[in-house]
Amino acid sequence: MVSLILNPKNICSNTFLVQVKRYQSLIALMLSSQTKDQVTHAAMNRLIEHGLTVENILKTDDETLGKLIYPVGFWKTKVKYIKKTSLILKDKYNEDIPNNVKELCDLPGVGPKMAHLCMNVAWGIVTGIGVDVHVHRISNRIGWVKKPTKTPENTRLELESWLPQDLWSEVNHLLVGFGQQKCLPRNPQCGTCLNKNICPFGKKNIK
């Protein structure tokens, strides 16, 4: 997850209300899924310039919202998720966001990974490790799980069973960039990886 998302101060003016910062953090995380960091950054800048509050997003028609977030991954679906989520936040949370993982996961387009990251970013509470496809893949390759896991959620549970909790918030930020630049899904750059001598996958892959 990009530093932009991990530090809400980078995407919200300090004069904004705290709850608006939390809302913007949630939206940034929603946009970041299956999207390159620079694309997420650009979309967030456009949204903030447009006015990224619950009230303003609900007043924005879908076509305009789509143009603002394009070309983030699955942008058409995310337009619907953002609108539905914003309406729920208005009706149920007084335009704030939920302060627990369960209720965050009840929002359209929000899963466990996003919910745990949001709790850390928006509320400053570490509730779990945010495991996406990169963290899932790398954890299996380097042997951070006792046995191969099939889903990111299973990987999260495995990692949390042995990693000290004070390190949980660092895992996503550390491994996502590594997965995007070096430990790629296809054709990973094992030959030039500094972990090649201690990584089971790397040792096997460069033979």
DSSP 8-state code for residue 206: T
DSSP state at residue 124: -
Amino acid 3: pLDDT: 45
Give yes or no: 83 in active site: no
* Integer Rg of the chain from CA: 18
Query: 3-class SS at 103?
Result: helix
Cis geometry, peptide bond prior to residue 148 (ω within 30 degrees of 0): no
Please give the chain's pLDDT, 207 residues, in tens: 444 444 444 455 454 589 999 999 999 999 999 898 899 999 999 999 999 999 999 999 999 999 999 999 999 999 999 999 999 999 999 999 999 999 999 999 999 999 999 999 999 999 999 999 999 999 999 999 999 999 999 999 999 999 999 999 999 999 999 999 999 999 999 999 999 999 999 999 887
> CA-CA distance, 35 to 169, in Å (whole number)?
21
**Cα 44 vs. chain centroid, distance in angstroms?**
14
The alpha carbon of residue 197 and the mean position of all alpha carbons in its chain are separated, in whole angstroms, by 30
Residue type at 176 in one-letter notation: V
Helix (H) or strand (E) holding 67: helix 62-69
- Per DSSP, 147 falls in state S
Q: How far is CA 80 from CA 60, 95, 139, 186, in A?
A: 12, 17, 32, 31
Instruction: Look up residue 127 and give its DSSP letter.
Output: -
Spatial distance between the Cα atoms of 136 and 134, rounded to a whole number of angstroms = 5
The DSSP symbol for 53 reads S
Of 192, 190, 195, the closest CA to residue 205 belongs to 190
Cβ contacts of 195 within 8 Å, gap of 6 or more:
142, 202
| Residue closest to 24 by CA, chosen among 91, 118, 100 | 118
Which token pair is 79?
Answer: 């337009």
- CA 40 from chain center: how many Å? 11
Options 113, 150, 182, 196, the catalytic residue: 113
Instruction: Please give the pLDDT value at position 12.
Output: 52
Q: Which domains, and CATH codes, for the chain? A: 3-123 (1.10.340.30), 133-205 (1.10.1670.10)
